[in-house]
Chains A and B, each alone.
Chain A
Amino acid sequence: MNKSVIFGALTIAGLTAGAAAAATLDDVKARGKLNCGVTTGLVGFAAPDANGEWKGFDVAVCRAVAAAVLGDATAVEFVPTTGKTRFTALASGEIDMLARNTTWTFSRDVDLKFDFVGVNYYDGQGFLVPKSLGVSSAKDLDGATVCIQTGTTTELNLADFFRANNISYEPVPIETNAEGTQQYLAGACDTYTTDASGLAATRATFENPGDHMLLPEIVSKEPLGPLVRHGDNEWGDIVRWTLNALITAEELGVSSANVAEMATSTNNPEVARLLGTEGTLGEMLGLDAEWAKRAIETQGNYGEIFATNIGEDTPIGLARGLNAQWTDGGLLYSPPFR
């Protein structure tokens, strides 16, 4: 009794909120907003623009889920998290899903009790060096000072890589990408290492991006993907299949431009199932029939999201590479919508 009174008082103050217990979906619907954990700022993946509006590749996934569940892609509360706070934020229910270029690893999946719902970016750890350093391979970095973001898998990969090659290094641990950039540019470290995509995004913000280069070595596998709490499979399914819908949409040629038209005029039964004109897939998820259509309409398909946020025409300039559709020799392979 006493406790609920206190929380009654706090709720009046607007400082507490009912968090996700069992049914995250119900909570999100009741709240009318999706709480989505993102980075504290990595241009291209998740960063607030000059107006404080969050933009980026991971952000698009959050918005797509919000569009699918709530019918409003703007009904997202973005919660910036660091390497330290992200898992606690998810576990404690402060956020409903985490889309913060988080690497899918065994221990995070099994030991920390999270469910990775898929991979939205296949990445690997790379090294960023100034061209003036005259280094052409990561194996030349013997004795170098390396900036690393702590609390990430890159920290462990780095130790493994240097140990395997029997060379030494001086780690400079940093908390956020912003600090890493400053340290690297100030010359406090010779090289900055994190996911290659992140390095490309970071380099794009430099005054002279041309003075810096990525070393050819990719020293680890970093499948990055959104994750949810363990145990709420319905919610996990929604996030998983929203992501799959974006990927499938690209494969089937459905884009934000033609989705409305496709929904009415398609002959392809899978497109029809995806867009909810045929079958009851949405109902099975506990959503309405047009969930995927809304997600694609507002955010575009996977290819569009990639191109607008991190693709070759953006300052970040990442090639599709492993992140091409399986039909184009990449790894993106969504299970069928059936």
Chain B
Amino acid sequence: MLLNDTRYRSLTLQAIAAILLALSLGYIVSNLLANLAAQDLNISFEFLGSPAGYDINQTLIDYTSQSSNMRAAVVGIINTLLVAFLACITATVFGVIAGVLRLSNNWLVAKLMSFYVEIFRNIPVLIWILIIYTIMTAVMPGARSYLGDDPDIDLLGGLFAFTNRGVYIPAPFFTSGIGGEEGSVINWLIVIAALFGSLFATRFMTARANKIQEDTGVRPNTLFINLAIWLVPLVVLAFILGLSWDIPDPLANRFNLRGGIQIGAPLIALWFALSIYTGAFIAENVRAGIQAVSKGQTEAASALGLRPNRTMSLVVLPQALRVIIPPLISQYLNITKNSSLAIAVGYADITATLGGITLNQTGRAIECVLLLMLFYLTISLLISAVMNVYNNAMKLKER
């Protein structure tokens, strides 16, 4: 029998698996076709080109109800990436702080941090999103308290407003940049280019300082030069481009503040909830990473006469990072995937536009869900690819 002959066993098994796979796939596809035929439906992606017909509250690119469903999906993708990006940054900050403090000698602080980690890790993120959204909508003052000539609440410092519909902050714009008063994206690209220039300049300065230190033993003070490298171009650019601030205006409209940047309540709820929830997991990763560095390393560093903070930054952290970063990246992946819970608070991410409203309005369930999965799959594979590259680069090079 083919199964008992080691020469053919593997091939036989694979052939059986292939047949089973083909049968089950064929079964599913034939069911699908039969179902579609019975209901006289077809699979078609033409709906992507037709006007979406609905409005979206938070868009970073131009979008009106006459834009296509495709563009609505792009708006959703950008919003997903936005909240994921913001949450990754803040979650890392929370996580690192909590993880380091949890190892603190201070009993009270360490206990508080354990408390934070345990509470947030053991309660579903959906509940956290809803709680923070409820805080935003039910506890924050109503938007109308800020409005009118004689408002109940004044803007904080005349600049910021915290309402139950979101937070309003002043928006920078350029009065004499390219494109005049209206402004154009190029102005922002120039600013970003300047920031990158500063980044390279400071790296150059650090390298130079290292070299001088190695040659002479004395490290030149680079702090003020670096500060100047960062600040001067920005100040100059602000002056040339005519930087100005668009401050939220309580008088322009009777329902809402106008002007400035509005960070909607759903975005804040999602952002903050993902941050503190994932932060608790990152804190555990950070703690494990630091504890993974053997105590001998710290002791050796002390024996060499390094001060505790330099021990941390030069000896412990570089080794701990090797352990921390891979789980950290998978936490970033989790944030991206969990951002799909936006649908619970009405934030217009890809799940809410393509997988929500577009699906509802067009009834194209199969197509929408497939596209949705394709998007998340792409993002996940990209992040995994980055992780693999990093892991290979950081692999302990043993000789």
Contact = CB atoms under 8 A, between A and B. Distances in A.
Chain A–chain B contact at Cβ < 8 A: yes
Contacts of B348: 173
Contact of B55 (A83, A169, A231): A169
Interface in B247-278: 253-256, 258, 265
B325 to A, nearest CB: 37
Given A113-B41, A155-B361, A186 B356 contact: no
A111 B363 contact: yes
B146 to A, nearest CB: 12
B363 A171 contact: no
Top 10 nearest A-B pairs by Cβ distance?
Answer: A151-B360, A159-B65, A143-B253, A144-B255, A188-B137, A187-B142, A156-B53, A173-B346, A112-B363, A186-B137
Contacts of B378: none
A29 interface: no
Interface of B: 27, 35, 38-41, 53-57, 64-66, 137-138, 142-144, 164-165, 253-256, 258, 265, 343, 346, 348, 352, 356-357, 359-361, 363, 365
A228 B265 CA distance: 39
Given A88-B365, A113-B39, A171 B360 contact: no
Contacts of B35: 92
Give the interface centre of A87, A145, A159, A173 by most chain B CB atoms within 10 Å.
Answer: A173
Q: How large is the interface on A (under 10, 10 to 19, 20 to 34, 35 or more residues)?
A: 35 or more
Contacts, number: 99
A188 B40 CA distance: 42
Interface in A130-184: 141-145, 150-152, 155-156, 158-160, 162-163, 169-175, 183
A158 B54 CA distance: 8
A84 B54 contact: no
Contacts of B363: 87, 108, 111-112
A21 interface: yes
A118 B98 CA distance: 62
B56 to A, nearest CB: 7
A215 B312 CA distance: 65
A151 B357 contact: yes
Interface string A293-336: 00000000000000000000000000000000000000000000
A169 to B, nearest CB: 7
Contacts of A183: 137
A96 B352 CA distance: 28
Contacts of A84: 356, 359-360
12 contacts: A111-B363, A113-B41, A141-B255, A142-B255, A150-B360, A159-B54, A173-B57, A173-B348, A174-B346, A187-B143, A188-B137, A230-B39
Given A159-B65, A187-B142, A171 B55 contact: yes
A260 to B, nearest CB: 42
Interface centre among A113, A141, A158, A188, by most chain B C-beta atoms within 10 angstroms, is A188
A338 interface: no
Contacts of A143: 253-256, 258
Contacts of B40: 113, 230-231
Contact of B57 (A83, A92, A172): A172
B256 A170 contact: yes
Contacts of B56: 171
Contacts of A160: 53, 65
Contacts of B352: 173
Contacts of A151: 356-357, 359-361
A195 interface: no
B253 A142 contact: yes
Contact of B265 (A156, A173, A188): A188
Contact of B165 (A92, A162, A188): A188
A171 B57 contact: yes
A91 B56 CA distance: 29
Nearest to A173: B346
Interface in A77-115: 83-84, 87-88, 91-92, 108, 111-113
Contacts of B356: 84, 150-151, 173
Contacts of A113: 39-41
